[in-house]
């Protein structure tokens, strides 16, 4: 048993309260390996931003929970060494069962998501409540979810999104005791967030997605004033990375994300956690492809992972400063 407090981590409570008051959102960046973690910490230290390090079930399977826990501990020490002590949360992304959440809490996670969004309403309440009871006894915070995002949620694939019903949120939060709520207002996971048929195209043929349902968000805020809201599926799928991947032999089709100005608008509201994974994957892949194409003689992984890490850092800094507004709030 390891408490997150021994690892120098914090839960989301203070972070979210400050973010709602201050009109910004905390970045929740997924990581699976050392280079991603280095880029996240370097970017958040340089921008003086709090950060949520997210680990999915896939990341746990890929990297091992013991290693991940110690990487999170190391991340805090690394930040201090870089000259800024930033608040760091280690969060389970899309926890799929009570047992998974418990295992993470027992292994030093300071926050967990129990994703019961695909379950019938009463079952979602029951499982979320069970996780909250275990977590709160250990001062760990819990994110629940109401509404279903289109796309892939770890192993769960939904064809269409079901927007969160504002009339359910108060009952859900009161009966589960969750600390934050992920909602569905039109975001979705991955690099193909919308079908081309749902979009329009600009003069260059770039897909322009339908706007997020800010009307639903506003209604939810009215129902739950001051309550922390979470947006999943919030990569903006930058075209410069998509184009670089295509230029250097990759195959992506009809990629489209959430425009930055919509995320900026959401970050100013009760949305205080914005989840970003796919953009990191795109940036890393783009630079690795470019480097290997331009320097075919290289076979030292540091020679292509290093430049990828630098690009990732640049991207995260941009998000903290210009999109989420979390810079200077550590
Ligand atoms: O929400 C999903 C995250 O992007 C995690 O993806 O399960 O492939 O690690 P993953
Ligand atoms: P993206 O696929 O848009 O990066 O979303 C990530 C996410 O929601 C992780 O939980
Ligand atoms: Zn997600």
C-alpha angle with apex 220: 325 to 329, nearest 5 degrees? Answer: 20
Pocket probe mutation, ligand 1, options 55, 56, 148, 158, max atoms within 8 Å of Cβ:
56
CB 105 within 8 A of CB 70: no
Q: Would strands 151-153 and 88-95 be described as parallel, antiparallel, or unpaired?
A: unpaired
- Distance, in Å, from the CA atom of 222 to the CA atom of 225, rounded to the nearest integer, reads 6
**Ligand 2 pocket, 275 CB below 6 A?**
yes
**What is the model's pTM?**
0.96
Annotated active-site residue in 61, 93, 154, 300? 93
Which atom of ligand 1 is the closest one to the Cα of 94?
Answer: 1
Name the residue at shortest CA distance from atom 9 of ligand 2. 275
For tokens 């009215």, the residue is: 222
pLDDT, tens digit only, all 330 positions of the chain: 999 999 999 999 999 999 999 999 999 999 999 999 999 999 999 999 999 999 999 999 999 999 999 999 999 999 999 999 999 999 999 999 999 999 999 999 999 999 999 999 999 999 999 999 999 999 999 999 999 987 644 455 555 669 999 999 999 999 999 999 999 999 999 999 999 998 999 998 888 999 999 999 999 999 999 999 999 999 999 999 999 999 999 999 999 999 999 999 999 999 999 999 999 999 999 999 999 999 999 999 999 999 999 999 999 999 999 999 999 999
**Ligand 1 pocket, 56 CB below 6 A?**
yes
**Ligand 1 pocket, 58 CB below 6 A?**
yes
Ligand 1: centre distance to CA 153 (Å): 7
Kindly calculate the radius of gyration of the chain based on its CA atoms and give it in whole angstroms.
19
Q: Which of 113, 109, 45, 112 is nearest to 76 (CA)?
A: 45
**Ligand 2 pocket, 93 CB below 6 A?**
yes
The three-class DSSP label of residue 40 is: helix
- Distance, in Å, from the CA atom of 131 to the CA atom of 129, rounded to the nearest integer, reads 5
Ion ligand 3 neighbours (CB, 5 A) are 232
Per-residue model confidence (pLDDT) at position 154 = 44
Per-residue model confidence (pLDDT) at position 151 = 63
Per-residue model confidence (pLDDT) at position 159 = 58
Name the residue at shortest CA distance from atom 1 of ligand 2. 233
Name the residue at shortest CA distance from atom 3 of ligand 2. 233
- Distance, in Å, from the CA atom of 2 to the CA atom of 149, rounded to the nearest integer, reads 33
Q: Is 115 a catalytic residue?
A: no
**Ligand 2 pocket, 169 CB below 6 A?**
no
Structure tokens at 137: 């006894």
């Amino acid at each position: 048993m390891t408490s997150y407090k021994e690892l120098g981590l914090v839960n989301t409570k203070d972070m979210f309260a400050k973010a709602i008051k201050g009109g910004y959102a905390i970045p929740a960046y997924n990581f699976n390996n050392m280079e991603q973690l280095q880029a996240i910490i370097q970017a958040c230290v340089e921008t003086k931003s709090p950060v949520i390090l997210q680990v999915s079930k896939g990341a746990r399977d890929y990297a091992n929970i013991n290693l991940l826990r110690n990487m999170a501990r190391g991340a805090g020490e690394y930040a201090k060494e870089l000259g800024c002590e930033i608040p760091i949360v280690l969060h389970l992304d899309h926890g799929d069962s009570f047992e998974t959440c418990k295992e993470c809490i027992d292994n030093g996670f300071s926050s967990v998501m129990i994703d019961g969004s695909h379950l019938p309403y009463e079952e979602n309440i029951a499982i979320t409540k069970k996780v909250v009871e275990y977590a709160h006894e250990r001062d760990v915070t819990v994110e629940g979810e109401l509404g279903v995002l289109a796309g892939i949620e770890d192993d769960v694939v939904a064809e269409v999104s079901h927007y969160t019903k504002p009339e359910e949120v108060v009952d859900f939060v009161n009966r589960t005791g969750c600390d934050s709520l992920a909602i569905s207002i039109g975001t979705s996971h991955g690099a193909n967030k919308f079908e081309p048929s749902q979009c329009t195209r600009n003069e260059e043929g770039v897909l322009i997605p339908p706007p997020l349902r800010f009307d639903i968000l506003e209604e939810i805020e009215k129902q739950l004033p001051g309550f922390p809201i979470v947006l999943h599926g919030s990569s903006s799928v930058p075209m410069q990375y998509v184009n670089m991947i295509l230029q250097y032999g990759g195959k992506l089709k009809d990629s489209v994300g959430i425009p930055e100005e919509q995320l900026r608008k959401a970050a100013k509201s009760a949305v205080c956690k914005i989840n970003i994974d796919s953009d990191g994957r795109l940036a890393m892949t783009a630079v690795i492809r470019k480097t290997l194409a331009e320097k075919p003689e290289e076979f030292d992984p540091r020679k292509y992972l290093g430049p990828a890490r630098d690009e990732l850092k640049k991207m995260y800094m941009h998000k903290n400063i210009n999109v989420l507004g979390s810079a200077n709030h550590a």
